Structure 1
Amino acid sequence: MPSRSSLDNPHPFGEPAWTTSLLSPFYRDSHHRLRLHLREYLETKLFPHAFEWEQRGLRRLLIPGLPPKYRCGKSLPGDIPDEEWDLFHSMIVSDEFHRCPHMGVMWGLTSGNTIGCPPIINFGNEEQKSKYLPQVCNGELRFCLAITEPEAGSDVAGIRTTATLDSSGQFYVVSGQKKWITNGLWADYATTAVRTGGSGASGISVLIIPLKDTPGVSVRRMMNSGLHASGSTFIVFSDVRVPRANLIGRENGGFKIIMANFNPERLSLATGALRLARTCYSEAYAHALRRKTFGKPLMENQIIRAKFASMARHIETCYSWIEQLIFHMQNTPRAEEDPQLGARLALAKVQAGKTLELCCREAQQIFGGLGVNKEGLGAVVEQISRDMRVWVVGGGSEEIMDEQGMRLVMEKTLRTQNPRL
């Protein structure tokens, strides 16, 4: 096992147990090497600039994850061989990136391609892959994912953006609106959910729509409470002509493509939420050791230690659940198509969001007034408190995720009890 980095968090529960103290069956030497490589790189090259970039809303880097055929000879992070890379490596990437004190920056650097390219990677034809993916890898093109609409968030089947074939049959004419589209300000293309058929899920398709200098396309920045540098965007399509060759998969078969994107997205959101929860915990832990009240450090108060125990319990149990789900995905063919896995990922995403909410609140309580100040010792926790809502609402709100998770597992139970259903 590689030696621990000097940048490691020294506080108990400040890092996942497999990196510090406990043996795990999930991680190999390559996982440790990747983690140390990312940590050194991010701490020295990116994180020092995070505050400036968040304030100015800048984006400066593309870090797409692409199959080797389309990577133009570039290696994976940490020079991990392709044959060794697994979902735990991907989890480590997400975990380390979410250590950034200003997550809008990291979303601005990575999220557009991370969620906009998989529909092409997984469902696009060879012509589409060869045309777009190498240019993404070289930094020549940037994608975003355009699904959410003003009237259709978690209810994807309710989207209203229409795409109708023109008289030639060679172009779709697209009209509608998309909202909260990460990286949309800078993207060259939007992987877009459109309605090509009737109502409901069976009438949805996915189109690759060019955004830059395209007649009928307008974009504007959305001013949200956090994640300023993520480039959250409102996009309007007004009779935009899109070549039929830009259709991903088959017409009216887009709902499956969109759903396939959601499981990895929810896994990434859950992983990120837990890292942000650890950051809240660690920032508060350091403060409780140095802050003195009534003649003694805060940490000497039993009620303060109880807060840390509660945070640690929630973080560690949810992290272990996510590890179990990743292990299942890694070792089960076509696991992403299993509704039972989807149910558990939905519930795990909810639990991770609730854990983040708890840890952020408790950290702010421990910091007191410093926890709501944008400067000074509590600034990191204050920033997370503004960014946090995306991890609770994004990728499906907890109310809908809870319902979806229980509905899917109940359907299996009912079928088992009554095979005729």
Structure 2
Amino acid sequence: MSQQQQSAQNKPVERKQIEASEVEKHNKKGDLWIVIDSLIYDVSKFAALHPGGETVLCDPEVAGQDATEVFFGLHKHEILMKPQYKRLIIGQVSGEEEQIVPPPAGSPSKVPYAEPTWLTEKFHSPYFQDHHRHLQREIRKYVDERVREVAQRCEANGKRPDVDLIQEMGKNGLNAMRMGPGDHLKGRKLFADIKPEQFDYFCEMIITQELVRMGARGFGDGLQGGMVIGLPPVMKFGNAETQKEIIEPVLAGEKFICLAITEAFAGSDIVGGLKTFAKKSEDGSHYIVNGTKKWITNGVFADYFTTAVKTDEGFAVLCIPRSVGGVETKQIKTSYSTTAGTAYVMFDDCKVPAKYLLGEDGAGIPVILSNFNHERWVMCCSTIRSARAITAQCMMWSHQRKAFGKPIISQPVVRQTLASLISQCEAAQAWLENVTHQMNKMDYYEVATHLAGQIALLKSWSTRVSHDVADHAVNILGGRGLTKGGMGGFVEEFHRTYKFDAVLGGSEEILADLGVRQALRNYPVNEKL
């Protein structure tokens, strides 16, 4: 949306002033007016098309009356923003003004605890600087105005994210920024005019957390989720020729990549369970790959597969182009929409040139593990922010929904539930920010040594937080929390999909154990009770 369009949208609209007594006269079928937030809607013709039936609009508490409270007990405000409903407005009740006005694009929410404290007025943070706040405002505007509609459409129809959107994100620098800080940003024009030397893990966290606010988990993975986990091994271990072929086209959205590790036989037990085998030719020019991979994010539409394989030397990682032949993918339908392109991948006598070997043959495990900490950290960013967004939905609904004549927020049990969810979200964000600060101060090897356990424990615990939030959110929203779309649509989607983060990148139990084992490595022998 241009500044001119936004200015026109925010400009107060002069409306015909109509007395409330006049509105009351239009209270029957065929001649039906209602008032929502001071605006008068002529729903005489629309009533027959109303999805909830004409009877709802003809109810004595609605027909010719101020139906604001009734409306917001049933619908989100965004419904009123649609052109087909705006056309029904014929005036405004004399002497009244609109109270429910959406904040300007990019603005933080005023709902208590809807934002992390660093985004909340009057709160301070030792981590976030002016450029972080500028980036947050700009990425929120971009997501709300450009990405959200695409996300909801793709969630509904199951199609992959629009390629033109991904290419647009490539041009404005967002795809490269999602790969984290590093040399790949040098000399590149970045989104919101962030300088490459300013970009740190807090910047990446901001981008990740703003993207998940659109409440579209499958789309989120489809929106280059494969790039975030599949491209780093190429960037770190690929030879110059392979890097030149793959990196820039993927960042530009011209080509797509995925990470192909898991199999039906191997999840967390990669070393013992992996069966995909790559046989090196006698002259060393290529590998013949046979095997299968399962639950591969973006595999349906990927051009490259960063693939863990067994070889005669042990383990290796090959970046296999689909174009070499012998690669077939099939869609796997999961709890979220097919927009993520989750795939079953088959390699059948796939002849892969040796130049696509990442690192050394026999030294594949370090390559496989090289991005796990970053991958898990990204998941922490996502799940913690998603949980907060759902908690905010519960807070808003508790104020709107009435039972026994009072908002349900008046019930102590609801307040206690919200208190627990808010506390967990605040604690998770604080831990995440501390870990992110350490990542900014440590090099790769220090992170692997000192933070791998912290990140593992944070991911394991944050998905337990998500479990609590999802469970209680459905209870608070009731039937709406189980219904796709409408008032509880985001809650239903979250409840259906939050377990992805509890499984992907290492299951909760495995990561909890990893966190403790990492600690035991440094246990002092002279410490006794």
TM-score by length of 2: 0.74
SS of the equivalent of 2:299 reads: coil
2:114 to 3, 10, 14: 14
1:138 Cα offset (Å): 2.7
Aligned-pair CA distance for 1:403: 1.0
How far, CA to CA, are the matches of 1:47 and 1:235 in structure 2?
30
Q: Contact 1:71–1:137 (CA<8 Å) still a contact in 2?
A: no
Structure 2 counterpart of 1:355, from 457, 465, 469: 465
What is the aligned partner in structure 2 of residue 273 from structure 1? 383
Q: How does 1:91-130 map to 2 (within 5 A)?
A: 91-130=205-244
Q: 2:399 aligns with which of 279, 289, 309?
A: 289
Residue 310 of structure 1 aligns to a residue in which SS?
helix
Q: What residue is the counterpart of 2:131 in the other structure?
A: 30
In structure 2, the residue corresponding to 1:15 is in which secondary structure? coil
Q: In the aligned structure 1, how far is the partner of 2:182 from the partner of 2:505?
A: 28
Give the equivalent residue in structure 2 for 1:46.
Answer: 147
Q: Report what 1:223 is aligned to.
A: 333
The CA distance in 1 between the partners of 2:447 and 2:310, in whole Å, is 23
Maintained 8 Å contact 1:291/1:297: yes
Separation in structure 1 between the aligned mates of residue 301 and residue 395 of structure 2, nearest angstrom: 38
Mapped to 2, the partners of 1:334 and 1:133 lie a distance apart of: 21
Distance in 1 (CA, whole Å) between partners of 2:186 and 2:246 is: 12
Q: Is the 8 A contact 1:335 1:341 kept in 2?
A: no
Report deviation, 1:72: 10
TM-fit CA distance, 1:172: 0.4
Q: How many residues align?
A: 410
1:243: Cα distance to partner? 0.5
Q: Equivalences for 1:222-371 in 2 at 5 Å?
A: 222-335=332-445, 337-371=447-481
Q: Which of 274, 285, 306 is the aligned partner of 1:191?
A: 306
Distance of 2:186 and 2:256 partners within structure 1: 16
Q: Which residue of 1 aligns with 2:494?
A: 384
In the alignment, structure 1 residue 402 sits paired with structure 2 residue 503: no
Matched residues in 2 for 1:122 and 1:336: separation?
A: 17
SS, match of residue 229 in structure 1: helix
Q: Give the counterpart of 1:179 among 282, 290, 294.
A: 294
Q: Distance in 1 between matches of 2:492 and 2:381?
A: 20
Q: How far 1:178 moved relative to its partner?
A: 0.6
Distance 1:387 1:328 in 2: 30
Matched, 1:140 2:250: no
Contact 1:185 1:221 (8 Å CA) reproduced: yes
Q: 1:81 to 1:152 in 2, by over 3 A?
A: same
Structure with greater contact order relative to length (CA < 8 Å, sep ≥ 6) = 1
1:318-348 alpha-carbon deviations (Å, 9 max, x no partner): 1111111111111122345533310110000
Aligned counterpart, 1:59: 161
Q: Secondary structure at the match of 1:148?
A: coil
1:72–1:134 Cα contact (<8 Å) kept: no
Q: Are the counterparts in 2 of residues 227 and 387 from structure 1 also a CA contact under 8 Å?
A: no
Structure 2 distance, partners of 1:346, 1:59, is: 30
Q: 5+ residue gaps in structure 1?
A: none
Separation (CA, whole Å) in 2 of partners of 1:367 and 1:225: 20
Secondary structure (helix, strand or coil) at the match of 1:53 reads helix
Q: Deviations over 1:375-405 (max 9, x none)?
A: 3200111011111111111111111111111
Code of the aligned partner of 2:525: Q
Aligned to 2:283: 168
Distance, in Å, in 2 between the alignment partners of 1:134 and 1:362 is: 44
Question: Which aligned pairs between 1:196-211 and structure 2 lie closer than 5 A?
Answer: 196-197=311-312, 203-211=314-322
Q: How far does the alpha carbon of each residue in 1:40-76 deviate from its partner, in whole angstroms, 9 at most, with x for none? A: 0010111023222112222224342268876796522
Alpha-carbon shift at residue 215 of structure 1 (Å): 2.6
In 1, Cα distance between the equivalents of 2:373 and 2:295?
Answer: 19
8 Å Cα contact 2:294/2:345 also seen in 1: yes
RMSD of aligned alpha carbons: 2.0
Q: Which runs of 5+ in 2 are unaligned?
A: 1-102, 170-174
Q: 1:18-43 CA deviation, whole Å, 9 max, x = no partner?
A: 01142111111110011111100010
Change (3 A) 1:295 1:394: same
Change over 3 Å in CA distance of 1:305–1:105 after alignment to 2: same
Identify which range, 384-393 or 64-73, moves more after superposition: 64-73
Aligned 8 A contact 1:277 1:359 in 2: yes
Cα pair 2:108 2:119 within 8 Å, conserved: no
Please give the secondary structure, in 2, of the residue aligned with 1:417.
coil
Change (3 A) 1:149 1:330: same
SS at match of 1:204: strand
> 1:270–1:352: 8 Å Cα contact kept in structure 2?
yes
Amino acid across the alignment from 1:137: L
Deviations along 1:204-247, one digit per CA (max 9) or x if unpaired, are 211010124x4321100000111431110100111111001110
Offset, 1:125: 2.4
Give the Cα–Cα distance (whole angstroms) in 1 for the partners of residues 183 and 124 of structure 2: 35
Distance, in Å, in 2 between the alignment partners of 1:246 and 1:284 is 49
Kindly provide the amino acid, as one letter, of the partner of residue 92 in structure 1: I
Question: Structure 1 residues 233 and 313, CA, compared in 2 at 3 Å: closer, same or farther?
Answer: same
Query: Where does residue 245 of structure 2 map in the other structure?
Result: 131
The worse-fitting range, judged by mean Cα deviation, of 135-144 and 265-274 is: 135-144
CA contact (8 A) 2:187 2:196 kept: no
CA distance in 2, matches of 1:29, 1:110: 28
CA change 1:82–1:4 in 2 (3 A) is farther
- CA offsets per residue over residues 353-385 of structure 1, 9 Å max, x none? 011111111111110111101132001110111
SS in 2 for 1:338: helix
Q: How big is each residue's C-alpha offset from its partner over 1:135-161, in whole Å with a ceiling of 9 and x where there is no partner?
A: 223322111111111111122223111
Q: Distance in 2 between matches of 1:135 and 1:418?
A: 54
Query: Distance in 2 between the 1:402 and 1:366 partners?
Result: 30
Q: TM-score, normalised by structure 1?
A: 0.93
Task: For 2:319, give the aligned amino acid.
Answer: I
8 Å Cα contact 1:71-1:134 kept in structure 2: no
